[in-house]
Amino acid sequence: MKKVHIKSFGCQMNVYDGQRMADILGEQGYEETATPEGADLILLNTCHIRDRAVQKVYTELGKLRDIKKAQGAQGQETKIVVAGCVAQAEGGEIQRRQPAVDLVVGPQAYHRLPELLAEAAGRRVVDTDLPIEDKFGFLPATKPQVIRARGVSAFVTVQEGCDKFCAFCVVPYTRGAEFSRPVAQILSEVERLAEAGVRDVTLIGQNVNAYHGEGPDGAVWSLARLMHRVAEVPGIARIRYTTSHPRDMDDDLIAAHRDLPQAMPFLHLPVQAGSDRILAAMNRKHTGDEYRRLIGRIREARPDIALSSDFIVGFPGETDADFEDTIRLVDEIGFASSYSFKYSPRPGTPAADLDAQIPREVMDERLYRLQGRIEHHRQAFNAAMVGRTVDVLLERAGRHPGQMAGKSPYLQAVQIDSDSDRIGEIVRVVIERTSTNSLFGRKCGAQDDPRKEMAA
């Protein structure tokens, strides 16, 4: 068999796309390998969201050129493919900067990988079309043994692209306009996953709660309706979704957090900043107080919900007072976790041309302070778990013999003392202590395993 090494940068959608490319290449006789050395095909699945992500790609490509050269000297041909959002944004520029690259393929064209690879024999090829056709219809189904190897938690892309046009963000340009997969297609993918042992699905999309896919009844289905239907798939015990926009949190979706037992009490709902002036300049279409009220309604529906957000510091024009508004919002909401970034001007986005770009030192200082507050609230959220009983989905063997590792409903990593349980089971666990990145607990019972009903 030929070997392919796939390295994904960036978001969960890239992880998903990387897996689907592995599925396609599997059909072409490639098996995955963990290192680039020895691979016949090396595929970088890239991220364009911030400048540093792009720089990483070029650094990585320099190393791959050396591997390709060394393997060539040994008589082994090596192909280098750049996929993902840098491929989309930079196109042929990638091969001008790094001639060792054989093929550049955008995120909406990777279902054509087999043909493109054949074309790229002996010459360089670029395919960054953003076609309206649905690439998902062309992807081969993931094989059951591959699903099992990937584990009991899986991502399923249900939506792609974004029509929101936040002033800082490159996604509407790299991933294109909003597109929702039809319900039937998503269901057959979830059913295959569940049959191979998946218990926990995360429905993903750049703006997933704007989902509006065609239902089997011909009507347009919302994300809430889709979640209710996915919850009926035998074996699926947990449903999450990411990433959401505050403007698209409709009443049905909020109600699902109250009414649907499979809807996990975790929500990633980026707010980006706390100052209304900056939110307006970012074209976020909501104010700080609108976000606070929305969180209030979500917490009313599901009081224990863990919330998380993304933040950008140093957006052009951000004053000290604006930044204090962000800190105030963070302290008021008390997020269970959050990501935070320094603003990075992206070519082609409206914010890149704004005056009043913020000096690096100011951004560094603000990021440091913000991350301190975020970490404080994360630790507080985790510490409050001690003494509580939670359901833990067992995902893998633990760090030490006699331990197993899994996830709490709040997306926390949990280590339990047990080696007698099966991966994929959900057990009741009393949390006894926390460390920086994990909770530790003791098993105190088993939750019903829906798979037993399936077998009966």
Closest CB 86 distance from ligand SF4, rounded Å: 8
35 secondary structure, DSSP code = S
Q: Contact between 440 and ligand 5AD (CB under 6 A)?
A: no
CB nearer to ligand 5AD: pick between 323 and 341 = 341
Closest CB 350 distance from ligand SF4, rounded Å: 17
- Do residues 216 and 183 touch, judged by C-beta distance below 8 A? yes
Residue 363 half-sphere exposure, CB side, CA atoms within 13 Å?
A: 18
90-95 LR contacts (CB < 8 Å, sep 24+): 90/48, 90/54, 91/126, 91/128, 92/126, 94/61, 95/124, 95/126
Q: Candidates 10-18, 92-100, 324-332, 410-418 — which segment interacts with ligand SF4 by CB under 6 A?
A: 10-18
Q: For the chain, count helices (H), then strands (E).
A: 15, 21
Q: Candidates 108-116, 233-241, 256-264, 340-348 — which segment interacts with ligand 5AD by CB under 6 A?
A: 340-348
- Do residues 49 and 13 touch, judged by C-beta distance below 8 A? no
CB nearer to ligand SF4: pick between 14 and 434 = 14
CB nearer to ligand SF4: pick between 13 and 385 = 13
Direct distance between the N- and C-terminal alpha carbons of the chain, in angstroms, rounded to an integer: 39
The tokens describing 429, both together, are 């666990």
By CB under 6 A, name the one of 11, 61, 194, 264 that touches ligand SF4: 11
For residues 204 to 243, the per-residue mask of contacts with ligand SF4, x marking binding by CB under 6 A and - elsewhere, is: --x-------------------------------------
By CB under 6 A, name the one of 3, 20, 48, 50 that touches ligand 5AD: 50
CB nearer to ligand SF4: pick between 6 and 439 = 6
Cβ neighbours of 124 (radius 10 Å): 16
Cα dist from 230 to 144, 184, 213, 226, whole Å: 19, 10, 14, 6
Q: Tell whether residue 11 is among the known ligand binding residues.
A: yes
Considering only residues 174 to 203 of the shown chain, the ones binding ligand SF4 according to CB under 6 A are 174-175
Q: Contact between 171 and ligand SF4 (CB under 6 A)?
A: yes
113 makes contact, choosing from ligand SF4, ligand 5AD, none, with CB < 5 to 8 Å by partner type, with none
What is the distance between the alpha carbons of residues 273 and 288, in angstroms, rounded to a whole number? 8
CA dihedral 240, 244, 247, 249 (to 10 degrees): 0
Strands (E), 272-402: 306-313, 337-342, 389-397
Q: Contact between 407 and ligand 5AD (CB under 6 A)?
A: no
Single-letter amino acid, residue 423: I
Q: Tell whether residue 85 is among the known ligand binding residues.
A: yes
412 makes contact, choosing from ligand 5AD, ligand SF4, none, with CB < 5 to 8 Å by partner type, with none
Contact set with ligand SF4 (CB under 6 A):
10-11, 13-14, 47-49, 84-85, 170-171, 174-175, 206
Contact set with ligand 5AD (CB under 6 A):
49-50, 168-169, 270, 272, 310, 312, 341, 343-344, 346
